[in-house]
Structure 1
Amino acid sequence: MTTDVVRARPWFEAGTWGGDWMKEHIPQLNQHEVNYAWSFELIAPENGVVLESNKNLLEISFDWLMELQTTAVLGRDAERFGTEFPIRFDFLDTFEGGNLSIQCHPSLEYIQTNFGENITQDETYYMLDCKDDAKVYLGFQDDIDPAAFKTALESSVEENKAIDIEKYVSSFPAHKHDLFLIPNGTIHSSGVNNMVLEISATPYIFTFKMYDWVRLDLDGNPRPINIDHAFNNLNFERKGDRVAEELISKPAVIHASNGMRIIDLPTHKDHFYKIERLEFEKGIALETKNQCHVLMLVEGSSVLVKTKNGRTVRFNYAETFIVPAAAGTYEIINEGGTEAKVVRAFIK
């Protein structure tokens, strides 16, 4: 199994800010659901792998695969991460929905000390799709006053009143295929009308929400707000011009030949993973170099992925797949009539 391409079984969930992009683009989903906020494409503690034999199906936890074949999956990175799969892909859908909460994630020391995790959620937003008015909240305004901001947040909770969040938090227009960098401690949120591919490190779920637009969840209850935890982790130096300079990736072509390009999407120094975009008209041959690759088709209709043992699997637009380190070499073949674009993430 670990010499072939693998797709984890995703799961989908509605949410108070959820949108309708997934409903429209994935017709197999229940169209009667109120919305879809998340798709957990690959979050190892949450996803399973489905095995088939003689038309019988058996789903096992992705963690089982890691316990049994860690080195085959992660290759040279197995010693560093052990049985924890380090990279996650998930969707955040706000098309015709709402803004995500204003939030941050804990520092490595904080999550280890307070929650017993080994890694923290240094993440990115890759913009799979968006409307013309889409934006991302990222970093602070240059004149941020931390004490005044905290007072405004606490008053919002106590008095159930909205605040002008852009008085404190910067926002940037979002465009298809942009990459926003969100290392731990960075204040952030996706605005409405985005379809975000969130590429991240994989701890469990520790998100500190500071402001949730004075709204209730789908059951009519307030969502948890964690102002104190957030202020123990916020980096107030990520403000003003530094945000655009340091937290918006600047793509660069690192290889081009025979109708294909490999584009580096530089990540922050705190991210332990790299992100590249593979663009090709017909196909591209790749090597794992003893590392695991996590990939998604982000433009095009479908691709075939062929591993060196001869197995070929089709993946459609917006589907995540994993090429384990033990696969060695693989080829991605474009089945569409236009250029295909595939995002690839792997450990630095």
Structure 2
Amino acid sequence: MEVLKFKAVYKKKIWGGRKLATKFNRQIPEGNVGESWELAAHEHGSSTIANGQYQGQELMEVVAKEGKNLLGTAISVEAFDKFPLLIKFLDINDKLSVQVHPDDQYAQEHAAGELGKTEMWYIMDAEEDAKLIYGIDKEVNRDEFAAAIEAGELRQHLEELSVEAGDVVFIPSGTVHSTLGGVLIAEIQQNSDTTYRVYDWNRVGDDGKPRDLHIESALDVIDFGSEPRDKVEGLTIEKEGYTREIQVACPYFTTETLDITTTYQGQANGERFYVLMGLEGSVTINYKDGSTELTAGETALIPADLGSYELKGDSKVIVSYIKDPAQVKEELKNDGYNEEELAKIAGLS
């Protein structure tokens, strides 16, 4: 197969903005565009291939034709019916609703068979003093949290986190989160579009009515009593020509950034696919049967059977793939990394 690129699916949001046009020089719909679904196979939006022999076809059409050639032998059979990841850019110009996502079990039972939603945010751009809401007071219980919502006093139980460009946060299902505006985010997540709003800043939608809240469902899935979270430190690995930083290794995805100064040699050996998101600069993806340019704001999929490939240029990209965290840990330990160093990777138990 060849490297695949995609046409984005844009979503207008009350909290969206225009950064996707100004930063990436894109032609986007008018109005407040909050999300660009870069790689998606969901009933609420599906990616169309933008290049090569499958140009114009939807992602799952190609999965049906290519199967393991695209996804790989190590990917679960469920992925052949429902692509496991949803990759986005988020332009959060105004406050995001205070929200939480369910895990797999709750979503299967209560959200029409959806997957759960664990996600990772890479902060691409942030206004001065930008803040996230990231978790809740570990001492508050369900009843106290519900009473605070009813009394309009929720803010006292929300943990805030200052962020700047380059920061990474890991958001497992059950984590209450939001932003207070002014951030551009690359998001890697499970393939789900299920969100339970806890609070929406007393806003009204386009119809002039308050937007729906989902308080009972949210209370069901919030991870009460969890320890406060912080930004992901990541495990940095210096190599000639690039710096690799592994940020997250959880059952749903592994993510790392590559800061490439000259070249990076990769290998798609048939086991799994890789998704590349351009963050800065541009890179040429060279492989046996061709080459593809990837610039900041673009996304590409490396099929599992591509073989050896080279990333050449001066750029920074996010690489996402699916790998058993135990295998990630074992490989890094074999390379000489100790438990303290491995603890810098979020989700790696």
Distance (Å, rounded) in 2 between the aligned partners of 1:18 and 1:229 = 25
Cα deviation 1:201-235 (Å, max 9, x = unaligned): 113x2111110111012343322210011111110
Check if 1:274 corresponds to 2:254: yes
SS at match of 2:198: strand
SS at match of 2:279: strand
CA spacing shift, 1:53–1:74, aligned 2, 3 Å:
closer
Check if 1:69 corresponds to 2:66: yes
Distance (Å, rounded) in 1 between the aligned partners of 2:182 and 2:4 = 30
How far did 1:85 drift?
1.6
How far did 1:58 drift?
6.1
Residue in 2 that maps onto 1:132: 128
SS at match of 1:37: strand
How far did 1:189 drift?
1.2
Cα deviation 1:250-288 (Å, max 9, x = unaligned): 21123x332312111134x4x421111111211211012
Check if 1:47 corresponds to 2:10: no
SS at match of 1:24: helix
Maintained 8 Å contact 1:9/1:47: no
Identity within the alignment, %: 24
Superposition pairs of residues 51-130 of structure 1, within 5 angstroms = 59-83=56-80, 84-94=82-92, 97-117=93-113, 119-130=115-126
Check if 1:253 corresponds to 2:242: no
Distance (Å, rounded) in 2 between the aligned partners of 1:206 and 1:252 = 31
Cα deviation 1:272-310 (Å, max 9, x = unaligned): 21111111211211012321001111122x21111222x
Distance (Å, rounded) in 2 between the aligned partners of 1:154 and 1:60 = 48
How far did 1:114 drift?
2.2
Maintained 8 Å contact 1:127/1:175: yes
Distance (Å, rounded) in 2 between the aligned partners of 1:168 and 1:279 = 37
Give the counterpart letter for 2:74 in structure 1.
Answer: D
Residue in 1 that maps onto 2:222: 234
Residue in 2 that maps onto 1:25: 23
Distance (Å, rounded) in 2 between the aligned partners of 1:224 and 1:280 = 44
Distance (Å, rounded) in 1 between the aligned partners of 2:212 and 2:17 = 21
How far did 1:48 drift?
2.9
How far did 1:138 drift?
0.9
How far did 1:154 drift?
3.5
How far did 1:52 drift?
6.6
Residue in 1 that maps onto 2:347: none
Distance (Å, rounded) in 2 between the aligned partners of 1:193 and 1:314 = 29
Q: List runs of 5+ in structure 2 lacking aligned partners.
A: 324-349
Maintained 8 Å contact 1:108/1:120: yes
Residue in 2 that maps onto 1:152: 148
Give the counterpart letter for 2:85 in structure 1.
Answer: I
Check if 1:217 corresponds to 2:205: yes
Maintained 8 Å contact 1:305/1:313: yes
Residue of structure 2 aligned with 1:263, choices 228, 245, 250: 245
Maintained 8 Å contact 2:6/2:51: no
Cα deviation 1:96-136 (Å, max 9, x = unaligned): x2111111111211111223436311111111111221111
Give the counterpart letter for 2:234 in structure 1.
Answer: P
How far did 1:312 drift?
1.0
TM-score by length of 1: 0.85
SS at match of 2:72: helix
Distance (Å, rounded) in 2 between the aligned partners of 1:52 and 1:178 = 32
Distance (Å, rounded) in 2 between the aligned partners of 1:35 and 1:52 = 28
Maintained 8 Å contact 2:148/2:154: no
Point out the more displaced range, 10-19 or 73-82.
73-82
Distance (Å, rounded) in 2 between the aligned partners of 1:28 and 1:342 = 19
Distance (Å, rounded) in 1 between the aligned partners of 2:90 and 2:111 = 24
Point out the more displaced range, 319-328 or 58-67.
58-67
Distance (Å, rounded) in 2 between the aligned partners of 1:224 and 1:44 = 25
Point out the more displaced range, 131-140 or 164-173.
164-173
How far did 1:168 drift?
1.0
Residue in 2 that maps onto 1:318: 297
Give the counterpart letter for 1:293 in structure 2.
Answer: Y
How far did 1:80 drift?
3.9
Q: List runs of 5+ in structure 1 lacking aligned partners.
A: 156-162
Residue in 1 that maps onto 2:159: 170
- Paired residues in the alignment total 319
Distance (Å, rounded) in 1 between the aligned partners of 2:285 and 2:206 = 39
Point out the more displaced range, 43-52 or 272-281.
43-52
How far did 1:164 drift?
5.1
